């Protein structure tokens, strides 16, 4: 749980593009020649080096994830700072620094035609707590946990790395219950943005505590105007997603599935009476489907969902808390089919996992939806696991020496 604790401790990360740095050429950036990708694939593995300070991660690259070894020792591109977060969009790899209350930065990388990852741009940043990809843009959300009543939505042109619009949203008015709406993430659904949120007190030494642990909410915004259209509500499970944890996913037919860890607390104690479960919003609707309820906690023998990664064909990889009725401690991996509501523990994977590669950034599945990959960190080391989705069997793949895997991203060049 070391990496998860780092994420929870890092209350935000830098992500607002304010303008290009005047010292780009002095920082080793290159003039990148635009080209059409040839269908080649390379993976960027980010790993936190062991026993170092002042280095967030190294960016390592590999042609495949099925076997072999890479090392942080004398290898990779160093990322400074204490915490870094990563996302990819429109052929760009964004490395985002959490500034711990200070301005951060974002460094953009591209794959050259020869498969080399190179730095192309550097920008100053501000602090946000959620981000997503929409059309040719990035949508970034700055969400105060106390004090200021407005969250700020920022639209960024991903191709030009330039802010094109911003919009305040009053999260106290949105919650409408005396607490604050704290967005857990945002997801593009058709031409709208669905943003689930948890209700939090935002005060009194218990900022993330709530008096409303047994409800879930999804705010629906138009795009690009970012006008609030409605709030989708339900009370069969607790809030969807969690802090820095995407709880919504869209499958191929356009239906939307919401995942609840059932982790609502008051004064650090679990208080929700609802199970960790999944709900559904049918394509073209803005209501929860009352005929659908997947009680994952019951199917798993009492375990709570931690994170989700969509693998395709209605199959999801779930990171589950390893101890029943708990939302802390070691993790286990499971597969679910959201249509048949089938739950199976992933065979061949370690049963006591400290942390996994960031679910929000995992795009490593095969195009046919048969194979997926996940980075796994245990007390014995860090290794990528290859997942045979149909059989539900995981097998050891690429090993990472000298570092803890934080993210894995597939890049085409």
What b/e readout covers 255-282, taking b as 16+ CB neighbours within 10 angstroms?
A: bbbbbbbbbbbbeeebbbebbbbbbbbe
- Rounded Cα gap, residues 188 and 231, in angstroms: 15
DSSP assignment of 302-348 equals SPPEEEEEEEETTEEEEEEESSTT-SSS-EEEEEEETTTTEEEEPBT
The CA angle 319-321-326, to the nearest 5 degrees, is 150
pLDDT at 6 over 60: no
Q: Which two tokens stand for residue 343?
A: 């739950």
Query: What is the chain's Cα-based Rg?
Result: 20
pLDDT at position 247 over 80? yes
Contacts of 201 (CB under 8 A, 6+ apart): 179, 180, 207, 208, 209, 210, 211
pLDDT at residue 257 tops 70: yes
Measuring CA to CA, which residue among 387, 385, 288 is closest to residue 336? 387
pLDDT digits (tens, 9 = 90+) for 57-70: 999 999 999 999 99
CA 283 to chain CA centroid, nearest Å: 23
What is the per-residue pLDDT across 302-338, written as a single tens digit (0 to 9) for each?
999 999 999 999 999 999 999 999 999 999 999 999 9
- 109/29 Cα distance (integer angstroms): 9
In this predicted model, what pLDDT tens digit does every residue of 292-303 receive, in sequence order? 999 999 999 999
Mean pLDDT of the chain: 89
pLDDT band, residue 100 (cuts 50/70/90): low
Domains of the chain by range and CATH? 2-412 (2.130.10.10)
Lowest mean pLDDT among 20-24, 69-73, 133-137, 392-396: 20-24
What confidence tens digit (pLDDT) does each residue in 115-134 have? 999 998 876 666 778 889 99
Beta-carbon count within 10 A of 379 CB = 9
* Mean predicted confidence (pLDDT) in 182-199: 97
Q: Could you tell me which residues come within 8 angstroms of residue 205 by beta carbon, excluding any fewer than 6 positions away?
A: none
């Amino acid at each position: 749980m070391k990496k998860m604790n780092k994420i929870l401790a890092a209350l935000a990360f830098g992500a607002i593009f304010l303008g290009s740095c005047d010292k780009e050429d002095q920082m080793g950036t290159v003039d990148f020649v635009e080209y059409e990708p040839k269908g080649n694939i390379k993976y960027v593995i980010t790993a936190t080096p062991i026993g170092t300070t002042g280095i967030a991660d190294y960016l390592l690259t590999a042609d495949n994830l099925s076997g072999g070894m890479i090392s942080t020792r004398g290898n990779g591109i160093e990322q400074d700072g204490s915490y870094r977060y990563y996302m990819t969009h429109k052929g760009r790899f964004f490395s985002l620094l959490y500034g711990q209350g200070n301005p951060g930065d974002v460094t953009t990388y591209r794959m050259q035609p020869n498969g080399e990852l190179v730095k192309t741009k550097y920008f100053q940043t501000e602090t946000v707590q959620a981000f997503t990809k929409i059309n040719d843009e990035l949508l970034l959300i700055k969400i105060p946990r106390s004090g200021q009543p407005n969250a700020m939505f920022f639209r960024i042109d991903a191709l030009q790395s330039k802010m094109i619009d911003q919009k305040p949203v009053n999260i106290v008015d949105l919650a409408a219950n005396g607490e604050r709406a704290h967005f857990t993430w945002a997801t593009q659904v058709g031409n709208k943005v669905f943003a689930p949120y948890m209700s939090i007190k935002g005060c009194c030494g218990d900022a993330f505590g709530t008096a409303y642990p047994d409800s879930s909410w999804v705010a629906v915004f138009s795009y690009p105007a970012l006008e609030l259209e409605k709030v989708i509500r339900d009370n069969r499970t607790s809030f969807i997603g969690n802090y820095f944890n995407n709880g919504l996913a869209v499958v191929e037919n356009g239906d939307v599935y919401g995942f609840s860890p059932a982790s609502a607390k008051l004064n650090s104690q679990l208080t929700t009476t609802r199970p960790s479960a999944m709900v559904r919003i049918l394509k073209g609707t803005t209501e929860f489907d009352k005929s659908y309820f997947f009680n994952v906690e019951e199917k798993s023998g009492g375990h709570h969902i931690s994170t989700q990664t969509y693998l395709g064909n209605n199959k999801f990889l779930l990171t589950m808390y390893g101890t029943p009725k708990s939302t802390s401690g070691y993790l286990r991996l499971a597969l679910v089919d959201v249509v048949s509501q089938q739950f199976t523990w992933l065979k061949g994977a370690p049963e006591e996992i400290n942390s996994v590669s960031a679910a929000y950034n995992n795009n490593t599945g095969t195009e046919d939806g048969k194979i997926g990959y996940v980075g796994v960190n245990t007390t014995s080391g860090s290794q990528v696991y290859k997942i045979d989705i149909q059989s539900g069997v995981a097998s050891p793949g690429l090993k990472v020496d000298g570092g803890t895997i934080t993210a894995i991203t597939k890049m085409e060049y």
